[in-house]
Amino acid sequence: MTAGTMHGEGAQANGFALVARRNNSLSSGERFLAFAFIFIASVGVAVAFAVLGAWPILPFAGLEMMVLYLAFRYVDRHAADYERIAVEGDMVRVDAFEGGRTRHHEFNRYWARLVVVGAGDRLALRSHGRELEIGRFVSSERRIEIAHELGRRMQIR
């Protein structure tokens, strides 16, 4: 889920934009089917053991299914998350949609600095004591590419 895709440059006359989305291997319907299969198999095994006299297994199977349901629900809630990074005029804008909420951040492109930690382990924009991590949905190799391209676009005057 942490790997993602970054979709090309925006088609703006004087700007540049990148959009990063999570890499979801299963659709919502496929996640439901996977959960249903696991639920039926787990509860079926628990009931079989309960019939043979090992009834204490039932609460543990129920707890296991509740935790699995919460994990699948979390994945579903964050499946549509994205990050849009745009250089438009004198501004660098970052729109982050996460868990149903959108956050907007703006930086003056001449004052903002790009921070790369390690070999692309972390990428951030920093300005006036404020720092915002970007590129969280893409691999470290792709973060390096983004840093080069975004750095070049931020310096064009």
On average, the pLDDT of the chain sits at 86
Cβ atoms of residues 50 and 57 within 8 Å = yes
Q: Are 147 and 116 in contact (CB under 8 A)?
A: yes
Q: How many CA atoms lie within 13 A of 115 on its CB side?
A: 14
| Secondary structure of 43-59 as H, E, C letters | HHHHHHHHHCCCCCHHH
Q: In what order do the strands lie in the sheet with 4-7?
A: 4-7, 15-22, 82-88, 91-98, 101-108
- What length is written for the chain? 157
What is the SS3 assignment for 4?
Answer: strand
Q: Residue 150 in 3-state DSSP?
A: helix
Judge if pTM exceeds 0.85. Answer: no
Q: Give yes or no for a contact between 97 and 78, defined as CB atoms under 8 angstroms apart.
A: no
The pLDDT tens digits of the residues spanning 6-26 come to: 444 443 445 788 898 888 888
- Domains of the chain as residue ranges with CATH: 4-23+80-155 (2.30.29), 28-78 (no CATH)
Q: Where is pLDDT greater, at 66 or 116?
A: 66
Q: Which strand (E) or helix (H) includes residue 77?
A: helix 57-78
Residue with tokens 């969280």: 136
pLDDT in tens, 52-81: 999 999 999 999 999 999 999 999 999 989
Confidence of residue 107 (pLDDT cuts 50, 70, 90): very high
